[in-house]
Amino acid sequence: MGLISWEFPVLVGVVALLVLAGLVVLWPRLSRTGVLTVLGRTGGILLVNVLVVLLAGVLLNRQFLFYASWTDLANSFGGAPKAASITKGGDAGGAAAARLTDRAGRSITVAPPRKLPALPGSGSRFTYTVKGRASGITSTVVVRLPPGYDPASARRYPVLETFQGYPGQPTQWLDVLHLGQAVDQASAAGKLVAPIIVSPQTEVPVGVDSECVDGGGNNPKVETWLTTDVPNWVVDHFAVRTDRQSWATIGLSAGGWCAAMAAMRHPGTYSAAVVMAGYFTPWFGPYYRPFEPRTPLGRAYDLLTLAHRNPPPIAMWLETSHADRDSYPTSARFLRDVRRPTAVNATVLQDAGHRMSVWVQLLPGALTWLGTTVPGFQPAG
C-alpha cells in the first residue's frame, strides 16, 4: 500500500471510525470510577484524536506530495534519496558566457548611476516598496547584501534573483531555505562570489497564483515587473554588475517555473537559472487564468516548445524527482527535448517528495554549480 495511494487514507479513516465506535460502546463501562477506567477513557479519547490528526496529515500529504513514498518518509530521518545526474544540451559554462550581439531578451535598460543612494539603515537586509515603471505594479522587494558591501567602493556584485513557491512570501528563500547563510558558507569556502540576493513579490495581487506571467488585457504584467522593473531598480540602487554573466535566477516549485521562464525568455539579462522542482508550462490555480494554453499568449509561455525550437544560450541547474507529480512530467519532457545552446545539469531523484527539506539539502550543490559555471559568480583564480 503506497503512502500516497487512496487505500491508505481509507484504511486510516476506517480504523478511526472503528475506534470511535468502540469507545462509544464501551463508554458506560469506562465511565465508572477507578484508575483503570480513567486511563481507559483518556487513552481512548487520545487514540481517536491521534487517528483524526493522522488522517488529516495523510490527506494533506496526498494532495501536496510532501512525502512521495514510504522510502521518502524513511529518508527524511537521515537517509538520502537515490539520484541520477543528467547533462543535456551544450556546455553550461559556454552558454552562460555567451555574448549576445542583438540584445535579444535584454531587459536591463538603465545605466548604473554615478552615485548610489544611501542604504535606508544598518544591517544587510532591507525591505522596499518598489513602483514598476514598465508594469505599473507597486509591490515588495527584499534585498540581502553580502558581507562587506559598501556602495561607496568600486566593487560591483553579481545578482541572484529569487522566486518563491506558491503560496509563499518574498522572504521564503531567506527565512525558510536560509539562502543567505548558504551563500555566505559557499563564499567563505571559495566556491562562489557572494551575490546580492533580490527577492521580489511574485503574487500580484498578494495571494494570487500569477505564475509570474503578463496576463494580457487588464491583468497584471507580472513578468514585466519581475524581469524589467526589478532589475532596472536594482541597477539604480545597488553596486551591481549589469552583464548577463552576472545575473541568475533561482526558484522552487511554482518559483522554479518562474526562474526558468525569466531566464529562457530574457537571456540578455540572465545567463543562468537554478530550478528546484519546477515545471515548464504555467500551471494556474482555480481562481486566476489570464489566458488559455492554445492562445498566442499561452504558446509564448510554452518553455517546452522554446527549448526544442529556439533554445536560448543559458545554463540551467535543475532538480526533479520521479515521485514528484507536480514537477516530473514537464521536467522529463524538457530534458528529452532541450538542445544546445541551452545547457542543463539535472539531478533526478528517485523517491523525493515536494518539500523544503529536500531543496535545503541540495542548495549547497546548486550554489557550487553556480560558482563554477557562471563567470560572474566565479571566484577570482
Read off the pLDDT of residues 317-344 as tens digits, 9 standing for 90 and up: 999 998 888 899 999 999 999 999 999 9
* pLDDT score of 295: 92
The region, left, alpha or beta by phi > 0 then psi within -120 to 50, assigned to residue 205 is: beta
* pLDDT score of 145: 97
> Which pTM was predicted?
0.84
Q: CA triplet 336, 248, 363: central angle to 5 degrees?
A: 75
CATH 3.40.50.1820 for the 83-377 domain, yes or no:
yes
Phi, psi of 157 (to 5 degrees): -115, 155
Between CA 347 and CA 350 the distance in angstroms is 10
Assess whether pLDDT exceeds 90 at residue 264. Answer: yes
* pLDDT score of 74: 62
* pLDDT score of 352: 80
Average pLDDT of the chain, as a whole number: 89
Confidence label for 55 from pLDDT (cuts 50, 70 and 90): confident
Provide CB contacts within 8 A for 258, sequence distance 6+: 163, 202, 211, 212, 226, 249, 251, 278
Confidence label for 306 from pLDDT (cuts 50, 70 and 90): very high
Assess whether pLDDT exceeds 80 at residue 276. Answer: yes
Percent of the residues in the chain that have a pLDDT greater than 90, as a whole number: 64
Between CA 368 and CA 316 the distance in angstroms is 13
